[in-house]
């Protein structure tokens, strides 16, 4: 890092640190549009409108897929990722979502939580099995159609 000294070695260290920082997956907030687009205000504004429209179409398609067959949440997050290429608010929402998903995955892998989930699943299956057994003992298996008439 440059601390105000004019020694030749420090400039090389600063440039190598900048390159190492650019290789990190976590980038700064802001537009990721190419530089020639950022240089022209009208072109950058139209680029942002285009990104917003494409992201909106993908998010709406994901919302439609929530009640219908399809990967609704995956498509919604894909639309958010499209928006995050251009808009800071979407980048912040995406970072928050990634952090929460990672925390939930870590909690799910906790041995105590896994034991609790397995115990609750076994108890639930026992209750459902008992209720199904009582129903079958009381009413038997009744077909919804009459086989004897055919």
Distance between CA 112 and CA 108 in Å, rounded? 9
Answer for the pair 33, 47: CB distance below 8 angstroms, yes or no. yes
Distance between CA 59 and CA 42 in Å, rounded? 26
User: Phi and psi dihedrals of 70, rounded to 5?
Assistant: 145, 165
The model's confidence at residue 136, banded by pLDDT at 50, 70 and 90, is: confident
Give me 135's structure tokens.
Answer: 């129903």
Distance between CA 85 and CA 33 in Å, rounded? 8
Let me know how long the chain is: 150
Report how far apart, in Å, the C-alpha atoms of 54 and of each of 34, 39, 51, 80, 98 are.
Answer: 18, 22, 5, 10, 22
Answer for the pair 59, 65: CB distance below 8 angstroms, yes or no. no
pTM listed for this prediction: 0.51
Give me 63's structure tokens.
Answer: 């919302």
Residue 31 has pLDDT above 60, yes or no: yes
| 8-22, 31-45, 85-99, range with greatest mean pLDDT | 85-99
Which pLDDT score is estimated for 146?
A: 65
pLDDT tens track for 54-100: 999 999 999 999 998 888 889 998 998 888 888 888 889 889 988 99
């Amino acid at each position: 890092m440059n601390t105000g000294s004019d020694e030749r070695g420090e400039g090389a260290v600063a440039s190598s640190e900048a390159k190492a920082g650019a290789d990190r997956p976590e980038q700064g907030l802001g537009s990721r549009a190419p530089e020639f687009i950022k240089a022209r205000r009208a072109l950058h504004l139209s680029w942002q409108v285009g990104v917003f429209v494409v992201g909106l179409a993908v998010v709406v398609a994901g919302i439609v897929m929530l009640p219908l067959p399809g990967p609704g949440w995956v498509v919604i997050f894909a639309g958010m990722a499209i928006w995050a290429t251009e808009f800071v608010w979407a980048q912040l929402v995406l970072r928050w979502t990634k952090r929460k998903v990672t925390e939930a995955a870590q909690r799910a892998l906790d041995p105590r939580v896994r034991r609790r989930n397995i115990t609750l699943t076994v108890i639930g299956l026992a209750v459902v099995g008992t209720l199904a057994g009582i129903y079958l003992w009381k009413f038997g298996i009744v077909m919804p159609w009459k086989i004897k008439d055919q």
